[in-house]
Chain A
């Protein structure tokens, strides 16, 4: 039997707002046909790169997924060559590298259950004209990829919309 609990929270609480700088986002089109390839050169290249922070994807126009991989640091030329090679020999394509992006992220005790979290975050950033390059939210977390040198400003903007108890 399903039990429905009810709670009220006048201001959205978060455990804290964090940021990371000096990241790179690699984006590529991954067709459905590429999913099952064992030892796919893309996977070899990415696993060699290490320091993966996030992976997220949306449906791509025409099928497959538009896949995004967020890495710590700048991608090496070697890695880019590997990705480029992967995109040629195993059919993912549309490789794009956004170097020097930044990440701001927050978790909340009720983020997975309540409405309005993404709206509050986007409103706060929109008010300060901070562009969002990408976003991934699952469970109780929101991750927002922003341009270089804007994470600090984004963090301040989000601090106005979310409350860290005791801070």
Chain B
């Protein structure tokens, strides 16, 4: 982004997650992404964020689950402790719309950097750009984004007030 005084990027919304746990699938192990996804599905655990890339011919990356689901995935984490790494007390910040704007990506990255906010992972779609950071600093993360981006009048970052759970 090329910030100009009084010239902020226009965005339509910021969504903050509940408390999450990030599970990193480390490169160079025999534990596959497909196996991780199967274990999650078998335990009926939703992953609201996934980012993966091929490293040394195996997919490595990260996924997030709700903090309340951690206990159910604990046996998998223990069995594959060399392949999976947990970052707890993580939260996600999602900005809408993304529309493949590199300036928005730069705005978020530089905003996080200015405040020393960690970036644990990034995922995007054509509609949304999501960063994960420390859960306890999500409000600060939203403030960092809003230093160079502007929501419409009468809009504010929001947290979902209810959750849909599949049985």
Interface residues of A (CB under 8 A from B): 2-9, 27, 35-40, 43, 46-47, 51-59, 61, 65-68, 105, 107, 110, 112-116, 118-120, 122-123, 126, 131-139, 141-143
Contact = CB atoms under 8 A, between A and B. Distances in A.
21 contacts: A7-B164, A35-B110, A36-B110, A43-B106, A47-B102, A55-B122, A55-B124, A55-B129, A57-B119, A58-B51, A59-B121, A105-B125, A107-B125, A112-B46, A113-B165, A119-B38, A119-B41, A123-B34, A135-B51, A135-B59, A138-B128
Contacts, number: 182
B166 A9 contact: yes
Interface residues of B, number: 60
B51 A115 contact: no
Interface string B1-45: 110000000000000000000001011000001100110110111
A16 to B, nearest CB: 13
Interface of B: 1-2, 24, 26-27, 33-34, 37-38, 40-41, 43-55, 59-63, 94, 100-103, 105-106, 109-110, 112-114, 119-130, 161-167
Given A47-B103, A54-B100, A138 B94 contact: yes
Contacts of A105: 125
Listed from nearest, the 5 A-B pairs whose CB atoms lie closest are A36-B113, A35-B113, A119-B41, A141-B125, A116-B41
